[in-house]
Amino acid sequence: MKRRLAQILALSALRGIALAVLLTTLLMLASIAIGGASSISWEFLTAEPVEGMTRGGIFPAIFGTVCITLLMIVLALPLGVCAAIYMVEYAGNSVLSRVIRASVNNLAGVPSIVFGLFGVGFFVLFVGRSLDKVRGGGLLFGQPAMLWAAATLAVLVLPVIIVNTAEALTAVPRSHREASFALGATRWQTVRRVVLPQARSGILTGSILSISRGAGETAPILFTGCAYFLPRLPLVHLEIPFTGLSVPMVNPLDQFMELSYHIFIMATQSTDAAATRPIQYGTTLVLVGLTFLLNISAIFLRVRYRRALEAR
């Protein structure tokens, strides 16, 4: 009887905790949706902020978030995947590889504000200023810019991408590697023709999830590139020679507005925080929506991956 009671109690407690997690998520999403739905309009999504950012839209922030996320992917994904391939396929279980593995895991646990400070110190002040010194002339690289913000975010998501990719690579059965080696394939041929094709969707799924985490981060870009208020888009017009035409291009050396930072400043730095409340909610809804899109695509990929595994 006593054992039965304990069983019932334990089960209810576990169920309650699980429900609490679900409820918290639902509450958060519901409050964002209810608060933000009224401010979402075509104008809100496509216009610039006006009147001290108490009215108008958030298009520059959406644009900045998309640009910096894409730039972060370009910087982090190849680097992370290559590092994981080296760790799993080449380094084996040497002392060096164990040290690398440990530091990658530790890097994943570093608070994001530390990455922000590292970004200023390393990318803006060291790399940027050094480039300026070599180039001569005034300040060009040595100031906060989209490039440095994206690089800082890339460093933040790098360990997560590496860990996820390493996991996907380790999941490829050893017997397939052996078969490939036994046929006279080199290590690189084995990686490219046998391991990577099988690990591809796993790598993508993991990477998208880590990227969606990075896309919502504020602290790393705080000092490295995002602007309080920048009503124009970070574009530069490139002239095509002899035609007199010019094409707009994203300028990675410009500053930019970003959704999470926009929420942060409107909630804490605005002269009239109450007046901007609908915009805060609306911006949050857009940010959550964008990261949700990334997560959905990861889930979609994972389902496909699982099917492929089961077909084996």
Partner 1 sequence: MSRPVLLATPRSSRPPDPGANPAKVSFQAMSFSYRERKALSGVTLEVPEKRVTAIIGPSGCGKSTLIKSINRIAEVGTDVRVEGRVELEGLDIYAPGTDLVDLRRRVGMLFQKPNPFPKTIFENVAFGPRIHGSAGATDLEAVVEKSLRQAALWEEVRDRLHSPALELSGGQQQRLCLARVLAVDPEVILMDEPCSALDPISTARIEELIEELRQSYTVVIVTHNMQQAARVSDRTAFLLNGELVEVGETEKIFTNPSDRRTEDYITGRFG
The site for partner 1, by CB under 8 A, has a size of 23
> Which of 150, 162, 270 lies closest to 207 in space, CA to CA?
162
- The smaller minimum CB distance to partner 1, of residues 24 and 186, is found at 186
Instruction: Compute the least distance from the CB of residue 195 to partner 1, in Å.
Output: 10
- Interface mask toward partner 1 for 168-207; x: CB under 8 A: -----xxxxxxxxxxxxxx--x---xx--xx---------
Of residues 119-138, those binding partner 1 (CB under 8 A): none
Which residues, in sequence order, are CB contacts of 203 under 8 Å at separation 6+?
Answer: 81, 84, 164, 165, 168, 169
- The smaller minimum CB distance to partner 1, of residues 25 and 186, is found at 186
Instruction: Compute the least distance from the CB of residue 174 to partner 1, in Å.
Output: 7
Kind and range of the H or E run holding 309: helix 277-310
Of residues 69-98, those binding partner 1 (CB under 8 A): 92
Instruction: Compute the least distance from the CB of residue 175 to partner 1, in Å.
Output: 4
Is residue 189 within 8 Å of residue 143, measured between CB atoms? Answer: no
Instruction: Compute the least distance from the CB of residue 194 to partner 1, in Å.
Output: 6
Instruction: Compute the least distance from the CB of residue 173 to partner 1, in Å.
Output: 8
274-281 contacts, C-beta under 8 A, 24 or more apart:
275/54, 276/53, 276/54, 277/35, 278/35, 278/36, 278/38, 278/39, 279/39, 279/44, 279/49, 279/53, 279/54, 279/55, 279/58, 281/32, 281/35, 281/36, 281/39
Binding of partner 1 at residue 272 (CB under 8 A)?
no
- The smaller minimum CB distance to partner 1, of residues 179 and 303, is found at 179
**Which residue is it, tokens 């929420």?**
263
Positions touching partner 1 (CB under 8 A) are 92, 173-186, 189, 193-194, 197-198, 308, 311-312
